[in-house]
Amino acid sequence: MDQYQYFNYLNSRSYLGMIYRNFYLYPKIQNLLINPVLDIGCGIGDYLKFNRKATGLDINPYNIEFIKSKNLNAIHMHHDEIPFEDNTFPSILLDNVLEHIEKPEKLIHEMHRVLISEGKLLIGVPGIKGFLADSDHKTFYCEEKLINLIESY
């Protein structure tokens, strides 16, 4: 799926999903994080609308253009390069992103670099049904595989 198609896919998600994210998921996520949050792979800015103190990064220029049209804070990123200084953010959110990346090691290294010491990293990945529902997903992460990937950092 190309970037424009993926942008359209994100904009076609259900109203029920939006209600779930805004009234259940994002409040729970925010209780675990410290502002300002860096939302990597921010999509069309759903979390950024919820938390206006967050900064979004995405590789899809259509997503970034859309987010900026909503007066939200987002930056276009190049693959695996986070355009911030070391030790910048107390929290990083990587929600439904990791499964799209074939080789995530460089991105994880970059996240580690910009996350302050004792900072919080929150990663969300789909379960097996969600993973199989999107042809753009590359790697399935069970809890053990995810922990093993992150622990070395």
pLDDT tens for 64-96 read 999 999 999 999 999 899 999 999 999 999 999
Residue 1 has pLDDT above 80, yes or no: no
Give the pLDDT confidence score for residue 134 in this predicted structure.
Answer: 86
Structural contact between residues 52 and 106, judged by C-beta atoms closer than 8 angstroms = no
The mean predicted confidence, pLDDT, of the chain is 95
Q: How many CB atoms lie within 10 A of CB 152?
A: 9
Give the pLDDT confidence score for residue 79 in this predicted structure.
Answer: 85
Largest CA distance in the chain: 39
Q: How confident is the model at residue 152 (pLDDT cuts 50, 70, 90)?
A: confident
The mean pLDDT of 20-46, rounded to a whole number, is: 97
pTM of the model: 0.94
